Structure 1
Amino acid sequence: MRVIPMRAKIGLAFFVSLCAQTMLANQPVVPFNSPAALGAVMQQVGVGLALGFAVRLVFASVELAGEIVGLQMGLNFASFFDPTSNAQVSAVARFFGQMAMLLFVVINGHLLLIMAVVESFRSFPVDGNFLQALAQMRLYALGTSLFSSALWIALPMMALLLFVNLTMGIISRVAPQMNIYAVGFPVTLTVGLLGITATLPMLEQPVLTLLQQAIDLFAVQR
């Protein structure tokens, strides 16, 4: 994230590396001036990028659910620039993303992530075999869960708002003199906000499941 200074990121990475030294077995010795050293660097950089990408997919799934809910509520026009992702996001998607971030801290997701970093050195030793490590991660397995999890999170709100829209459609047929466009949006917005409040407690299990799947990719034993 761009809001965190680069020096803070480097310092945190260095501190985690020092703490992890006492928990890890001896890693393979790679000569510094050999081609294997370049392969080892590429391997570890690839593992780190893959781990960050896997965790980002967890939040992307929740934000996608927010985009779907915002579309059903008619709030996708209320979008703004998100400096953390360099993209336009809707207000509902940003709200879902922030809730997922708070939930990530509450369930000690940051500790699970640090554990995954340490476990990755056991699952992917420093041997320079980047292609084998990439194949072993199976990121595609987590990618396939992204859309299904997003739909599962948004499903209660989709069903609720579909019922509201069907009801408003029936009312417009029964009472054609009613300005359904003036009434429909406030009703949909109110019901949507109440529905979000009621369904937020259901967000914990999908986020926890996705996070565990992401961490398990880097804890596979050889």
Structure 2
Amino acid sequence: MVTFSEAQLMAWLSPILWPFLRILAVFSVAPLFSMRAIPMRAKIGLAFFVALCAQAVLGEQPVISVNGREALGAVAQQVVVGLSIGFAVRLVFAAVELAGEVIGLQMGLNFASFFDPTSNAQMSAVARFFGNLSMLLFVVINGHLMVLMAVVKSFDSFPVDGHFMQALGQMRLHEMGAALFSSALWIALPMIALLLFVNLTLGIISRVAPQMNIYAVGFPVTLTVGLLGIAATLPMMEQPVLTLFQQAIDLFAAQR
């Protein structure tokens, strides 16, 4: 009769269990992977498949028993690191959506808001458009593969050792938070300058020709110029978004 000891079972399951938890935490937060259209069983199966395929490059992993005291810290560490990776990528989309909110405010289109089921909040039409565009760009540049590579590389920076507080102290998510607003304003800067020039021109026209109803003319003009400006500046949005994606990935994939 073939028997297995607990140590042998842990030696077989531990290299897959902890990466599986980290990848599953990423799938619960990261864009595209966390979509409600994807069934939960598919996410669990894909996380297990990625953890199984990553064994060839993960190297030697420490064996942590699920009955030991280190198991709770290991679980907390995997969940926190996985959620942090997904949250860092989500911040990139938040920066693009914030840029869309600023542009929509300048255009006067913020009243056209919709309910976003992903964030459970109201979002303007321009921000929704920029968010969908960034999602398409994320797929085109194989951002989903970059996220999976970042998860695998994160085991070099945050190994499975159960040191929850140490992993929490090594993260630099505050850098992404600081870059959120600056990057959003940088993306929206061309449209802000264009619409500011249009508003200044309309202000001068209202002083030169007071009999003109500037309120009836101003909204169609700013709306038309805003739409033309968005169409002209969309190719310029690629490089800032790619830079933000690279910053988010480097937080976890860089060697320490």
TM over 0.5: yes
Could you say what secondary structure the match of 1:218 adopts? helix
Shift of 1:2: 2.5
- TM-score (norm: length of structure 1): 0.97
Aligned equivalent of 1:119, options 133, 153, 171: 153
Could you say what secondary structure the match of 2:160 adopts? coil
**Structure of greater relative contact order (alpha carbons < 8 Å, 6+ residues apart):** 1
Alignment of 1:93-104 (within 5 A): 93-104=127-138
Alignment of 1:58-207 (within 5 A): 58-207=92-241
Could you say what secondary structure the match of 1:23 adopts? helix
Residue-by-residue CA offset, 1:30-53 (whole Å, 9 max, x unaligned): 122111011001000100000010
Query: Partner of 2:38 in structure 1?
Result: 4
Q: Distance in 2 between matches of 1:44 and 1:77?
A: 41
Alignment of 1:12-91 (within 5 A): 12-91=46-125
Shift of 1:96: 0.4
- TM-score (norm: length of structure 2): 0.85
Residue-by-residue CA offset, 1:172-204 (whole Å, 9 max, x unaligned): 111111111111101000000000001000111
Query: Partner of 2:12 in structure 1?
Result: none
Segment of structure 1 superposing worse, 117-126 or 184-193: 117-126
Code of the residue aligned with 2:96 in structure 1: it is V
Code of the residue aligned with 2:52 in structure 1: it is L
Q: List 4+ stretches of structure 1 deviating above 3 A.
A: none
Pick the structure with greater CA Rg.
Answer: 2
- Structure 1 unpaired stretches of 5+: none
Segment of structure 1 superposing worse, 141-150 or 13-22: 13-22
Q: Distance in 1 between matches of 2:37 and 2:197?
A: 40
Residue-by-residue CA offset, 1:10-59 (whole Å, 9 max, x unaligned): 12212211111111111111122111011001000100000010000000
